[in-house]
Structure 1
């Protein structure tokens, strides 16, 4: 029989769950399940499905490089302004590359196509 303390620990772990994705350059990211509600993350999943299909037994691979993924995660964790989120979404959806990279030199991130 599982103790009450163990059940509480398990419930907390489930509430703060995470998922794992890999970037185009094979970097592993463990991301909070809360981020699945973000439109940018959902769009990256949609593009990933178009580019790579739905994985049967392998990892989920996003069509973005690791530094861009780190940047997106940092923006989301800081509370991305809705207008910046919409601009980023429009840039991502208009990109037809198999690898998306962000140009972080500008105050408003812009996407450019890179070859992987």
Structure 2
């Protein structure tokens, strides 16, 4: 499941995970690499590409609010 990280104590995600930023406050979440295989998450990544392109200060920003992303992460964690 995605983990919300309040303080950016870690600059890198643990092995097998990656970092995404969500919402207007760019909340940092650490998510498992397995999310990349899910078609719903892939759609969200495509939407991020369309909205932000690839030049986004070396961050992967997803175009949704925090509560929507948390619901998606719960759904993906159960699969």
Distance in 2 of aligned mates of 1:18 and 1:55: 21
Distance in 2 of aligned mates of 1:58 and 1:67: 23
What does 1:25-40 correspond to in 2, within 5 Å? 25=24, 26-40=26-40
Secondary structure of the equivalent of 1:55? coil
Between Structure 1 and Structure 2, how many residues are aligned? Answer: 65
| Structure 1 unmatched runs, 5+ | 1-12, 80-116
- Please identify runs of 4+ aligned residues in structure 1 that moved more than 3 A: none
Q: Which residue of 1 aligns with 2:73?
A: 73
State the Cα deviation string for residues 24-78 of structure 1 (Å, max 9, x = none). 3211111000110001111111000000111364211110011111100101111
Distance in 2 of aligned mates of 1:24 and 1:56: 14
Distance in 1 of aligned mates of 2:17 and 2:55: 18
Matched, 1:42 2:47: no
| Structure 2 unmatched runs, 5+ | 1-13
Higher gyration radius (CA): 1
The structure with the greater share of residues assigned to helix is 1
RMSD (CA atoms): 1.5
What does 1:15-26 correspond to in 2, within 5 Å? 17-25=16-24, 26=26
Secondary structure of the equivalent of 2:30? strand
Higher relative contact order (CA 8 A, sep 6+): 2
Distance in 2 of aligned mates of 1:62 and 1:56: 11
The structure with the greater share of residues assigned to strand is 2
